[in-house]
Structures are given as structure tokens and as C-alpha cells.
Structure 1
Amino acid sequence: MRIAIQTIAYLWASPYTIAGIAIGLILGGRFQRVDGVIEIHGPRIAWLLRHMIVPAQALTFGHVVFGQNQSALDCTRLHERVHVRQYERWGPLFVPMYLLFSMILFLRGRDGYRENPFEIEAYDAEERV
């Protein structure tokens, strides 16, 4: 039963996972698999993460985590694994819901990143360790 549930979770998140793998290949990233998650880093990925609207050390797409470098992947692993689980729960709805929460918060004059419920869950997991 556990294998069936995990398979469904991978399939539900697969549109973003496939996109993440494609982006990693296009950008010439270095791939590694850690605990069922593909981690990718490299100079072009680092550049993109540094130049996003909210610069990031790492970013999750389904079962793919992009990091500026290996150290960033190591430091953010727990936080990003929470996002992986969120993709497993929300599937294709994750990114639209994340952006919707951010936009609503921003329009209310609040922090669309730190006050986003998805980020709150990830940061709470870090604090518990």
C-alpha cells in the first residue's frame, strides 16, 4: 500500500518534476539523487536563483530541487523536502496556489514570501530540528 501511495504522489507531482529535469538539462546542471529527490546545481542555475524576484539558495519543482551549489543544497535540504511533500499533496495546483497566496499577501501589504503558508510550514519544520 505504501508503494502505491508513493507512486501516486510521484505521478501527481510529475508535471513539475519533468519540467525541473528539463530545465536542469538545458542549464547544464549537475544531477544527484538524494532520498528519492533529484538535486541539481551548477553555475547557470546559481545565476538564475540569485536573479529571481526573491533570490533563493534553492528552489523546488516537484521532486527536483535546484540549488546554487552543493553547500546550498545541503543547507536547505530539510526546508526544500517540505516543499517536495507539498507538491505531493497539491500536485499541479501547488504553483498556482503558492502564487495566489503570495499575491493576496502582497496586496494586503504583507510579506508574500515569509507569510506564505507554504513557506511557514517549511520554516516551521526547520525550527523543529
Structure 2
Amino acid sequence: MQAPVRRLASLAGMAWALPCTLVGALLGLPVLLAGGGVRRCGLAVEVYLHEGTAPAGSRAARLPFAAITLGQVIVGVSTAELDRLRLHEHVHVRQYLWFGPLFFVAYPLAGLVAALRGRGAHAGNAFERHAVRLSGAGPRDAA
């Protein structure tokens, strides 16, 4: 694809994912207000609560996830976790650029289908399997 067409396609994806990105920004706002930080990385904005590693026993360390992606916003418990999960979470960013607001329905539906097939709502989710395939590791495997 030629450069101008590629840029136009990229902008269209960003516009399509914008509602999801706004939800991600709303989720990231309390993290920032609690003293967290923000950095830009590729097509995403990463928001984190702790610089380095989250302290053992902290609320952030006890969350059921280390990072979550909403649109082009990735919210992580720490910069260390964001570094560890970057490739995986950026696959989700690209999924949002493709599916836009439909991802808010498609992802849980894929989890339901996986659970009904006995594969587990998260590990068996087609979007998670895609992210694992492209990144080489899932959130649990990357440790």
C-alpha cells in the first residue's frame, strides 16, 4: 500500500476506535490522579500506576490483570508490566483499530463462546489467542 493510502487507513482506524480510546482515557484518569504516569509508545498511550515494579502486596499487584487495553490506551499496574506485555497489548490495539466499538461486544462474545466450549473465557478467547500467536506470549506466559 502506498504511504498516503496507508496513512489514510491508519487515521480511519483511529477514528473508528476513538469511542473505545475515550473509555480507555476515562479508565486511565484515576490512575493519573493517584500519582501514576503516562507515556506514548507506538500507536498507544500507556498509563501506569507505578514506575518500575508494583510493590508486593499493593492493591495494584493484587489486580486480576497486569494490563488492559481499551482502544489506543493501555493501562498497566507498572512500567515493568507494560514493558513485559507490550507486544501482546499492542496486538489488542490493532484489534481495536480494526473492530472499533464492535470490539466491546466481540471480545466478551468470543470469551463466552470459548467458555461454552470448555476452553476458558480468557485463555480460549479468539482475540487472546490471536494476541498470543502474534506476540509470542500471553499475559500469564510472559513472566
Give the TM-score band, short-chain normalised: 0.7 to 0.9
Q: Is contact 2:31-2:47 (8 Å) kept?
A: no
What is the TM-score with the length of structure 2 in the denominator? Answer: 0.78
Between the aligned partners of 2:94 and 2:66, the Cα distance in structure 1 is 19
Q: Which residue of 1 aligns with 2:55?
A: none
Question: The residue matched to 1:75 in structure 2 has which SS?
Answer: helix
Runs of 5+ in structure 1 lacking a partner? none
What is the one-letter code of the residue matched to 1:65?
Answer: I
Q: Which residue of 2 aligns with 1:30?
A: 37
Identity of aligned residues (%): 36
Q: Which residue of 2 aligns with 1:3?
A: 7
Q: CA 1:116–1:67 in structure 2 vs 1: closer, same or farther (change >3 Å)?
A: same
User: Shift in Å at residue 49 of structure 1?
Assistant: 8.0
Q: Is contact 1:50-1:57 (8 Å) kept?
A: no
Q: Which residue of 2 aligns with 1:66?
A: 75
Q: CA 1:112–1:85 in structure 2 vs 1: closer, same or farther (change >3 Å)?
A: same
What is the TM-score with the length of structure 1 in the denominator? Answer: 0.86
User: Shift in Å at residue 24 of structure 1?
Assistant: 1.2
Compare the two structures and name the one with the higher helix fraction: 1
Is the radius of gyration larger for structure 1 or structure 2? 2
Runs of 5+ in structure 2 lacking a partner? 51-57, 138-143
Question: The residue matched to 1:56 in structure 2 has which SS?
Answer: coil
Question: The residue matched to 2:136 in structure 1 has which SS?
Answer: helix
Q: Which residue of 2 aligns with 1:78?
A: 87
